[in-house]
Structure 1
C-alpha cells in the first residue's frame, strides 16, 4: 500500500531512515519531474513555436541526514562510515527507497559532513547529492514472464536451460507483461535456443523485432531494448542480427501482450524459450 512517509533508504551497505542512526530530514528530486529538453523551434514569421517531443534530463536527488549517537566517538564512526560509502563511482549503483517501492540508478556527486563544535557531543548532519543519468523511477521487484514459440500443432515444452524463476507461462507463443508504472518500460529479452530466425511482436502497440540467426541448444541471446545491445551468451555483440525494419518493443503502462514466433532447428526438439524481464517504470 502506498504511503507518504519516506521510510528507509538503502545505499550500498548503509540504511538511512527510521530505526537507523541516519535520520532523513529532507529529500528533493525523487518525485520531481527532471528538467525538460524540448525540441521546439521558432515559427518563422508567426507567433509561437513548432513543438517537438519532450525529453527529460538527468535526475538529481538531494538528501539531508541527521546523525544521532551517544558519544563523539560514535558520531565520528558514523561520519567515517558515510564517507566510505559515498566515494566516486565508475558506474551507477541502486539507491532504493524500500517503503516507496522505488529504485533509481545513481552516483554520489556531492557530499557534505560539516563539523559543528557546538553540537559535537552526539548530533551531526550531512548532505548528499545523487546524480541519476537514467532519470527513470523503477519498481524494486524485477518481473519476468516466459513463453515458448508459437506452434500451430501440439505446442512446446519448457527446457531446463538455466536456474531461473520464469513467472507465468505463456500460451501458444504469447505472454502478458504488466507495467504498473506510468511510463514505458524497456524490457530485457532473452531467447534460448535451439531456434532459427526468432521474432518478437509487441501485439498491444504493433511492431516486430526479428533476428536473422540460428541458435543451437545451450546458446542464448540477450537483447537490451534500452541500449539496443544484442549479446550472444550475454557478452558477444551481435547487433547485425537485427533485421531491417525491426522495431524495439516497449512495455506501455498497463498490460502488454507479447508474441514469440520462430522456426525450429531441423533435427532438434522444438524447445526455444523467450523470457521478458522488466520493472515498473515511471518518471
Structure 2
C-alpha cells in the first residue's frame, strides 16, 4: 500500500525522520525526473526535429534536516555523528527510504551544518546533497528465483544440497520474474555448474545470452547485466565467454519469463545446473 508520508530515511547507519533526532524538513529530487539527455537532431530544410530515445542523467537528492539535542554537548554529538557519516566516498552507498520501499545509491557531495549562536542551545540545522550517478529508484527487497537447466540428459531433481538459499524452482528450465516497477530492471544472473554452453533466453522480449564455456560441479559464473561484467567464481573476468551476437536480458515492467538451457557434461554426476535470477523492482 502506498504511504503518503516520507517516513524514515537510512544512510550509513544513521536514521533520519520519525523516531530519530534528525528530523527531515525538506527533500528535493526523489520524485522529480532527472534531466533528460535527448538524442534529437534538426530536420534540414524542414520544421521540427528528428527525435531519438530519451535517456536521463544523474539524479541529485537534497535533504534538509533539523538536529534535536537535549543540551549543547548533546547537539555537538549529533553534528559529529552526521559529519562522520557524510565523508567523501570512493563508491556509492545506499540511501534507503524505509517507509517508501525505495532505495537509491549515491555519494554525499555537499554538506552544510551552519553555526547559529542565537539558536544553538539544543537544536541546529543541516543540509545534504546526494549525487546519484545511477538515477534509478529500486525496491528495498531484493527478489530472487531459480530454476534448473533444461537438458536432454536426466538429472537429479531440485533442490540441490548446497549451503545456499534460493527462491522457488522453475519448471522445465523456465522461471517467471516479476518487476513491479515502471522501468526495466537489470538482473544479476548466477549460473552454477555442472553445465556446458549455458544459455538464458528472455522469452518475453526475445533477448538471449549464450556462454561458450564449461562449468564443472562447484564452479559458477556471476553475470551483472547492468555493468555487463561476467565473473568466474564471482571474481575473475570472463567477458570473452559471451558469444558474439548475444543480447543482455532485461526484466520489463510486469511478468517476465526466462528459459535456461544447457548441455549436461559427459560422465557427470547427474546433478543439474542451476540458474538464479536476482533483481529489484526498478523505477525512474
Distance (Å, rounded) in 1 between the aligned partners of 2:239 and 2:162: 24
Task: Return the offset for 1:162.
Answer: 3.8
Distance (Å, rounded) in 2 between the aligned partners of 1:49 and 1:156: 59
Residue-by-residue CA offset, 1:129-169 (whole Å, 9 max, x unaligned): 00000000000010000000114576642322342x21121
Structure 1 residue 11 and structure 2 residue 11: aligned? yes
Residue 199 of structure 1 is matched in structure 2 by 199
Residue 222 of structure 2 is matched in structure 1 by 222
Alignment of 1:74-89 (within 5 A): 74-89=74-89
Distance (Å, rounded) in 1 between the aligned partners of 2:37 and 2:218: 44
Alignment of 1:87-102 (within 5 A): 87-102=87-102
Verify the 8 A CA contact 1:161 1:218 in the aligned structure 2: no
Residue 276 of structure 1 is matched in structure 2 by 277
Verify the 8 A CA contact 1:155 1:172 in the aligned structure 2: no
**TM-score, normalized by length of structure 1?**
0.97
Matched residue count: 282
Distance (Å, rounded) in 2 between the aligned partners of 1:156 and 1:41: 57
Residue 119 of structure 1 is matched in structure 2 by 119
Distance (Å, rounded) in 2 between the aligned partners of 1:194 and 1:123: 61
Distance (Å, rounded) in 1 between the aligned partners of 2:256 and 2:212: 25
Evaluate the alpha carbon distance shift between residue 264 and residue 153 of structure 1 in structure 2; reply closer, same or farther with a 3 A threshold. closer
Residue-by-residue CA offset, 1:234-267 (whole Å, 9 max, x unaligned): 0111001111111100000011000000000111
Verify the 8 A CA contact 2:190 2:275 in the aligned structure 1: yes
Residue 38 of structure 2 is matched in structure 1 by 38
Residue 146 of structure 2 is matched in structure 1 by 146
Distance (Å, rounded) in 1 between the aligned partners of 2:267 and 2:178: 36
Alignment of 1:262-273 (within 5 A): 262-268=262-268, 269-273=270-274
Evaluate the alpha carbon distance shift between residue 209 and residue 226 of structure 1 in structure 2; reply closer, same or farther with a 3 A threshold. same
Distance (Å, rounded) in 2 between the aligned partners of 1:162 and 1:150: 23
**Which runs of 5 or more structure 2 residues have no equivalent in the other structure?**
none
**TM-score, normalized by length of structure 2?**
0.97
Residue-by-residue CA offset, 1:202-237 (whole Å, 9 max, x unaligned): 001112100000001100000000000100000111
Task: Return the offset for 1:270.
Answer: 4.1
Residue 58 of structure 1 is matched in structure 2 by 58
**Which runs of 5 or more structure 1 residues have no equivalent in the other structure?**
none
The 3-state SS of whatever aligns with 1:189 is strand
